[in-house]
Structure 1
Amino acid sequence: MNILLTYGPPAFWCAWVFLFGLGVGSFLNVLIARLPYDKSPIWPGSRCGACLQPLKLRDNIPILGYLRLRGRCRMCGATFSSRYLWVEVGTGVAFLSLFVIEVMTQAIGGPEFLRPWHYAPGLKFSWFSASPPPQDWLLFASHAFLLSVLIVAALIDAEHRVIPTQVTYIGTAVGLLASTLLAWPWPSDPAVLAQIQPNAPWFLPNILGKLPTGMTLWPFWGPLPTWTPAGSWQLGLCNALIGAAVGTALVRGIKFLFEIGIGKEALGLGDADLMMMAGAFLGWQVVLIGFFAGGLAGLLLKIPSVIYSLITGRTVVSELSFGPGLALGIVATWFAWPWVSSSAVVLFEPVVLGVLVIAIGGGLLVAGILLRRK
């Protein structure tokens, strides 16, 4: 009985979030299948791609429907891609991970091993409460939306080498609205910033652990300008606009410099749109670091196809889709922000930031020229 009282409510909400993620994943499958062909995600209903017969309602139940049919159409026996199953499972796991990291770890009175991940004082609630408070759910819903559109963009780019603007433009618009209305340090009270010495440089190590994470992980600059006070819509709008601008400008600038050097197309404008969307939600610091983490992730994702080519002797597409890697880099940077931020504070130093931009730009230009000569 004690175990039920202690773990019952949290287990229920974790299970609910996972099941909700499965349902969202089912809808994401529709978007992934239809958006590349400019088809409506609403009409017509789900049907077999071979015989065009509508699927029964019970066949659309996440995971269970696929397993009951054994991955085949009930009418004609055509095989369904296993992607449908894995997207549902992956979305459920992603939603559950987000909920645990950003919400459940903030609970007071929980297990000793479940310590706060992000520093977000505004999310604290009792482990024994019937449900986390509304602001916790609102933050989860906002960030779950970002996770969803990143999944859609990444998987479409992996298969079709294109990222539909319907995904990135709508995602950017939602990010701009959410960041403006839920301005940093929401959901925490701006009073938590009183522990930071007024006008003290934010690039010094003594700032670590004192900056709360919010809808946007960090503000666009610190100390905050007087015209963008903490919690104001002005700050939220600046965070979103600057984050989106840095996200798209970063990819477009690197694309421009690298193409000058190498003499052919590199990256794509869809990648720039994806980073713009992420910046509107999370801020410019996350997309800056996430871009380079995404480059590494993209290379790691390419390794299995190279190994497959070597083993089977079959050729694979040599060009690399950066969308999946960039999405993974953003999510990894976002989830690991408590550790990444210990180095990211130097981005509040103008001189360091300027040197970093010049070094990155010059390095990419030189690398492109060397590759072109080769």
Structure 2
Amino acid sequence: MIAATATLTGGFGLLIGSFLNVVIFRVPAGRSVVSPPSSCGGCGVQIRPFDNVPVLSWLLLRGRCRDCSARISPRYPLIELLTGVVFTAVALRFAPWVALDLPLPSALGPIAETLAFAVLAGVGVALAWIDIDTQRLPDAIVLPSYPVVAVLLLVAAASTADWGSLLRAVAGAAILFSAYFAMAFAYPQGMGLGDVKLAGLLGLALGWLGWGELAVGGFGAFLLGGAYAVVLVLLRRAGRGSGIPFGPWMLAGAALAVFAGKPIWLGYLHIVGLG
């Protein structure tokens, strides 16, 4: 059952990754993600369905357009693979197959929880890449994610009467949003409002998991982003005053918290003598 679930979610993630390629390219430009259909940037010919199979089509075409031989960037299969991997990781982390042994409505809990974090994973892949490309975190992606994740967590809480986790999720959203808003207000050159809005969404998800995960995700973003900035400075790829897209590091810190937050937090408490 575990292998079957991982395979199915990984395959579904590849398909979502193909759609995210469209989102990453069109949303920052204010274009529709529905129409027109995808086409080659070189010759303008609409991409055929059999040339739009995630990863496989790129490999069979050897990274070239079938009609004009224009180069197709390897970032497209990379995003598809990344999305497949993170979807599989989410499924393994939250184990939705346990719902098969639960009566309704309790079965809705693990399913809704898994879906909430799968949505966050897909949104995260798109936002990270857009921020790298444009240093923006579009409201068109971030804001609609709030009600989607919130409703799914509400369903998960209601199915098991776990209202404490839901209240902690709301508190986590408020804490991270307020902290980032204060930083953006104090130093607007270093923190944008897009980061603030994303912080609330991440706080919602991390707060659901626990206070330790919230702390690890919050501080992890600055530790990972800071380490990256130091490496850039040492390699002379950036100066002390250079800015870097911070959204990817917020998402990396959140991912660290989702998959390893509890042991990291417990280890920290042990080191400081509180565990």
Asked if the contact 1:180/1:240 (under 8 Å) is kept, the reply is no
CA distance in 2, matches of 1:138, 1:176: 10
- 2:253 pairs, out of 313, 329, 333, with 329
Aligned to 1:231: 162
- Letter of the 1:289 counterpart: V
- 1:283 pairs, out of 185, 207, 212, with 207
In 2 relative to 1, CA 296–341 (structure 1 residues): closer, same or farther, beyond 3 Å?
A: closer
After TM superposition, the structure 1 = structure 2 runs for residues 337-352 of structure 1, keeping only pairs within 5 Å, are 337-342=261-266
Aligned to 1:152: 126
- How far the C-alpha of 1:101 sits from its partner, in A, is 2.3
Aligned to 2:151: 177
- How far the C-alpha of 1:319 sits from its partner, in A, is 1.5
Aligned to 2:273: none
Aligned to 2:175: 246
- Letter of the 1:273 counterpart: K
- 2:74 pairs, out of 74, 82, 88, with 82
After TM superposition, the structure 1 = structure 2 runs for residues 173-322 of structure 1, keeping only pairs within 5 Å, are 173-183=147-157, 189=160, 231-232=162-163, 238-257=167-186, 259=187, 265-283=189-207, 285=211, 286-302=213-229, 318-322=242-246
CA distance in 2, matches of 1:167, 1:343: 35
Aligned to 2:115: 141
Asked if the contact 1:153/1:274 (under 8 Å) is kept, the reply is no
CA distance in 1, matches of 2:41, 2:231: 29
- How far the C-alpha of 1:143 sits from its partner, in A, is 1.1
- How far the C-alpha of 1:237 sits from its partner, in A, is 5.8
In 2 relative to 1, CA 304–84 (structure 1 residues): closer, same or farther, beyond 3 Å?
A: farther
Normalized per residue, the structure richer in helix is: 2
Asked if the contact 1:248/1:276 (under 8 Å) is kept, the reply is yes
CA RMSD after TM alignment: 3.1
Asked if the contact 1:24/1:91 (under 8 Å) is kept, the reply is yes
Point out the structure with max Rg over C-alpha. Answer: 1
- 2:11 pairs, out of 14, 19, 27, with 19
- 2:2 pairs, out of 1, 10, 21, with 10
CA distance in 2, matches of 1:180, 1:279: 15
CA distance in 2, matches of 1:237, 1:97: 23
Aligned to 1:352: none
- How far the C-alpha of 1:81 sits from its partner, in A, is 1.8
- Letter of the 2:25 counterpart: A
Aligned to 2:104: none
> Any gaps of 5 or more consecutive residues in structure 2?
102-106, 270-275
- Letter of the 1:18 counterpart: G
- 1:55 pairs, out of 24, 47, 51, with 47
In 2 relative to 1, CA 37–304 (structure 1 residues): closer, same or farther, beyond 3 Å?
A: farther
- 2:92 pairs, out of 86, 100, 109, with 100
Aligned to 2:21: 29
Asked if the contact 1:179/1:239 (under 8 Å) is kept, the reply is no
- How far the C-alpha of 1:124 sits from its partner, in A, is 7.5
Q: Secondary structure of the equivalent of 1:182?
A: helix
Aligned to 2:272: none
- How far the C-alpha of 1:344 sits from its partner, in A, is 8.4
In 2 relative to 1, CA 299–266 (structure 1 residues): closer, same or farther, beyond 3 Å?
A: same
CA distance in 2, matches of 1:76, 1:43: 22
- How far the C-alpha of 1:138 sits from its partner, in A, is 3.0
In the superposition, the TM-score normalised over structure 1's length comes to: 0.62
Q: Percent identity?
A: 30
In the superposition, the TM-score normalised over structure 2's length comes to: 0.83
CA distance in 1, matches of 2:7, 2:166: 35
Asked if the contact 2:176/2:200 (under 8 Å) is kept, the reply is yes
> Any gaps of 5 or more consecutive residues in structure 1?
1-8, 108-122, 127-132, 190-229, 346-374
- Letter of the 2:34 counterpart: I
- How far the C-alpha of 1:45 sits from its partner, in A, is 1.1
- How far the C-alpha of 1:24 sits from its partner, in A, is 1.1
Q: Secondary structure of the equivalent of 1:145?
A: helix
CA distance in 1, matches of 2:100, 2:263: 24
